[in-house]
């Protein structure tokens, strides 16, 4: 991504409704769908500016890698984590078969060859270990935001399921999320296309009252998602397990 995007992320990811609520949803899924040992070894692939590191620390000892130097500097300010330079698929700076959980939050959409990259990540998961992925959903929602963030694609459930299985993992749980706000987002993106106003900055924190309302609405999904996977949404989350040898 452009250097400016990383600066924006670092500035807003602790307060912006989307980042905060997404962490809440991910934490709920990790708490209910993933069984980890004590002192679990966790790897975050493409940690960006480090917004998820503290949340992951609740589940074990966290390591991470990130290709962008500036992003790693920001991530290094988020706590005492082992953050290394690295990128997918062939520059993962950690030993194979070491981790109980590998995560890639909104990473796959940046990659040309997602299957090869997942295969590489899978080599770093212990037999019986877990992988948790999030990706943006539905190609018809493609917008200027995707272009600014250098996305290559958006995902359907079938596409995410296929690439996960092709990497040798057994799907355990999959759901759309950011569902309650889907109608608002769809209408907003459609209006921007019609009015040619797609350069509007979506990463900017809205006024406090709006930010709080959007945060509360999005966070409400945590009470339902583990029981009733959502049939549509702006994003997808996948929990998959590596078979025991």
Confidence of residue 138 (pLDDT cuts 50, 70, 90): very high
pLDDT over 80 at 194, yes or no: no
Least confident segment among 113-127, 169-183, 202-216, 218-232? 202-216
- What's the number of domains the chain is made of? 1
Q: How many CB atoms lie within 10 A of CB 223?
A: 9
pLDDT over 80 at 81, yes or no: yes
> Residue 45: which domain range?
3-241
pLDDT over 90 at 195, yes or no: no
Share of the chain above pLDDT 70, in %: 94
pLDDT over 90 at 88, yes or no: yes
**200-209 CB burial, b ≥16 within 10 A, e <16:** eebbebeeee
Tokens standing for residue 14 = 């602790």
Task: Round the average pLDDT of the chain to a whole number and report it.
Answer: 93
pTM, two decimals, is 0.94
**110-120 CB burial, b ≥16 within 10 A, e <16:** bbeebbbbbbb
Which whole number is the average pLDDT over 167-196?
87
Assign residue 203 the CATH number of its domain. 3.40.50.150
């Amino acid at each position: 991504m452009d250097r400016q995007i990383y600066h924006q992320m670092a500035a807003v990811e602790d307060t912006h409704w989307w980042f905060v609520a997404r962490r809440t949803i991910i934490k709920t899924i990790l708490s209910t769908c993933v069984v980890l040992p004590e002192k679990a070894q966790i790897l975050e692939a493409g940690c960006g500016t480090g917004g998820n590191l503290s949340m992951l620390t609740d589940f074990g000892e966290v390591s991470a890698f990130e290709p962008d130097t500036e992003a790693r500097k920001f991530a290094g300010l988020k706590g005492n984590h082992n953050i290394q330079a690295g990128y997918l698929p062939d520059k993962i700076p950690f030993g194979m078969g070491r981790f109980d959980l590998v995560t890639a939050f909104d990473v796959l959409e940046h990659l040309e060859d997602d299957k090869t990259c997942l295969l590489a990540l899978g080599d770093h998961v212990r037999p019986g270990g877990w992988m948790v992925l999030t990706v943006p959903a539905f190609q018809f929602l493609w917008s200027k935001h995707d272009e600014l963030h250098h996305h290559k694609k958006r995902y359907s459930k079938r596409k995410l399921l296929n690439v996960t299985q092709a990497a040798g993992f057994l799907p355990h749980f999959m759901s759309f999320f950011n569902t309650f706000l889907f109608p608002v987002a769809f209408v907003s993106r459609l209006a921007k296309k019609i009015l040619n106003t797609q350069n509007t900055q979506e990463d900017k924190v809205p006024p406090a009252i709006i930010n709080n309302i959007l945060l509360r609405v999005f966070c409400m999904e945590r009470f339902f998602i583990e029981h009733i996977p959502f049939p549509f949404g702006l994003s997808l989350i996948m929990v998959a397990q590596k078979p025991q040898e």
